Structures are given as C-alpha cells and as structure tokens.
Structure 1
Amino acid sequence: MLIGYARTSTLDQKAGLEAQRRDLTASGCERVFEEQVSSVDVVKREALAEALAFARQGDTLVVTKLDRLARSVAHLVEILGQLEAKGVALRILGMGIDTSTPTGKLMLTILGGVAEFEREIMLERQREGIAKAKAEGKYKGRAPTARAKADQVLKLHGEGIGGTEIAKRLGIGRASVYRILDDAQKAEV
C-alpha cells in the first residue's frame, strides 16, 4: 500500500498542502496523512507518528519532498530506521528516490547530508550577517518585552495572583514571569 504524508510549516500554506495532497493522490497513495506544523516541532508531528504506526510490511511511505519529512540527517536516519524495522520503503517524488532499492537508499543518505550541509551554511551566513549588523549598530535584536513589565509582575504576584494568570493578564510568557520572580528573589538574598 502507498501511504502519503503531507506537511506544511504554517496554517497559511493551504495551497502547498493542497498541492502535496494532489501529487500524493496522483502517485497512487490510498491513504494520506497530513498536518500543518513546523518540522522543528518533532514532538508535535502527530500525523507523521500516525503514518509510521499505520504502515505495514511491504508498504511504501510517500512524500513529495525530503524537507516535508525530516529537518536533519539525524532525524531522517531515525525515520528510516523505523521504516526499515517495519519493512516499509520510502519514496520521495520530487527526487525520484525509492528506498526499496540499494541505490535509492544510498542517494537518499547522500542528498540528506547535502541538504543538512546547505542548511548549516545558510545559518552560519545568517549568524555572520547579524554579527556584522550588530558591530555596525544596525541590529539591536528583539526588544525585551517581559523585562519592561517586571514591576507589574511583582505587583500582581504580591497580590497573590499565580504565574499563569499574570502571564495572561500582561501578555507575556509564563517562563518570563517566573524568570522575573526568580531574579527578584535572588536580589533579595
């Protein structure tokens, strides 16, 4: 059985999801699992977990592009290990790769390594650009919003309001509330 998996990073990418669904169906997928979640959120990729659990020996998991499935070579190797243990192949339509063949397995490993290398180079350039902009005084970074509300956090906490409610009222993260409270407690000691 051919099992499709489609993913977009955000809810705004409806056209991308529809195109993947169309391509997967056209390639003969009988069942398509889909989700709209960042690949970085590996923990929250429920449809991928469902697709992997659904697959049986002799099945093939089909994706349109490699980046729809895995973000890194390590993650790709992990997924391939799960598929291999179940006797399931992987087919990537955009690359013409099918891991049911030894050549397909080799090509996927090589291309996954190249993709990760490209991403690392891009991130390195980004870090260099930010460092250069900071040195020239053009990049200030994100303004710390929670720290500016420290007095309000401490006041609300003093009134007996919990961290979650403080975060909700002030529009900041819970972690920021607890960081401010922790810093205030350390300053008292």
Structure 2
Amino acid sequence: MRLFGYARVSTSQQSLDIQIKALREVGVEKNRIFADKASGSHVNRDGLSLLRVKVEHGDVILVKKLDRLGRDTADMISLIKEFDNLGVAIRFLDDGISTEGAMGKMVVTILSAVAQAERQRYLSELMKGV
C-alpha cells in the first residue's frame, strides 16, 4: 500500500501550504502529493488527472477535507466510484472517514451532498448581496 495525497484550493491567490503540511505529517511523500489551484466544480484538473494515472490497486489517497476533492455531489460520487473500481481507497483526514467499506462510501456520499447544499446556499446568499 502506497500513500498518495491530493490538495486543492479554488483560486490561484489561495495557498496549498496547510493541506500539503497535513499530508506530509501523516506520512505522504512529497513526490506523491498532487495539487490543483482550480474550482472543485472543474472536472478537468491537472493534478487530479496525474493522480489518476499514478495510483494502483491497494493504494490510498489522503485528502485533508471532503470538499477539497470535489464540491459537486455527482463529481464526488463519480471520483469515488472511479478510484474504488481501481481498488484505491480515499481517506479524508479532517472528517475522519474513508471510502474503505460500504459504510464509508455511504458516509462520503451523504457528506458530499451536504457540502453541495452548503455551497448552493452560500452562492445564493452572495447573489442576494449583489
């Protein structure tokens, strides 16, 4: 089993440092951390694409928070299924959950739906302020 890490921030002005530090602290080697500076709603992210190519059956991907992998429920479920089909698990450090096992997959699906609802509420509030 090899550990990989994935980090993402939404804009180029934001820093990946906190996420990368957390991944390094749990044992992910620097050369196995993949990162993007792009909105989670973008399906085509270079770091995520490269991670997809590098992982193999039995590997584990560590992500600091659920919403760093993807904010859209459909995208999140698709990514989880894709990695699961490869035999690759995903663990979310801050949330203390993993896609390992049926219960973990269910929790991730529920939490990703909540994250999407929160994002829609936030965007709705922003639009009211305009």
TM-score w.r.t. the length of structure 1 is: 0.62
Q: Distance in 2 between matches of 1:12 and 1:74?
A: 27
- The residue type equivalent to 2:67 in the other structure is D
Question: Residues 5-154 of structure 1: matches in 2 within 5 Å?
Answer: 5-14=6-15, 17-30=16-29, 31-43=32-44, 45-127=45-127, 129=128
Q: Which 10-residue stretch deviates more, 94-103 or 56-65? A: 94-103
Instruction: Please provide the CA RMSD for this pair.
Output: 1.6
Q: Which structure has greater strand proportion?
A: 2
Is the contact made by 2:57 and 2:88 (CA closer than 8 Å) also made in structure 1? Answer: yes
Q: Percent identity?
A: 37
Q: Distance in 1 between matches of 2:53 and 2:66?
A: 20
TM-superposition CA deviations, 1:117-162 (whole Å, max 9, x none): 22223333444x25xxxxxxxx6xxxxxxxxxxxxxxxxxxxxxxx
TM-superposition CA deviations, 1:45-103 (whole Å, max 9, x none): 11101111111000011110111110211000110111011000010001001111322
User: Which structure: larger Rg?
Assistant: 1
Q: CA deviation at 1:42?
A: 2.2
TM-aligned CA distance change 1:120 to 1:35, over 3 Å: closer
Is the contact made by 2:98 and 2:105 (CA closer than 8 Å) also made in structure 1? Answer: yes
- The residue type equivalent to 2:70 in the other structure is A
TM-aligned CA distance change 1:84 to 1:23, over 3 Å: same
Q: CA deviation at 1:34?
A: 1.4
Unaligned runs of 5+ in 2: none
- The residue type equivalent to 1:39 in the other structure is G
Deviating above 4 A after TM superposition, structure 1's stretches of 4 or more consecutive aligned residues are none
Q: CA deviation at 1:40?
A: 2.8
Q: Distance in 1 between matches of 2:13 and 2:97?
A: 29
Q: Which structure has greater helix proportion?
A: 1
Q: Distance in 2 between matches of 1:56 and 1:110?
A: 26
Q: What SS class does the counterpart of residue 79 from structure 2 fall into?
A: helix
In the alignment of these two chains, the number of paired residues is 127
Is the contact made by 2:41 and 2:72 (CA closer than 8 Å) also made in structure 1? Answer: no
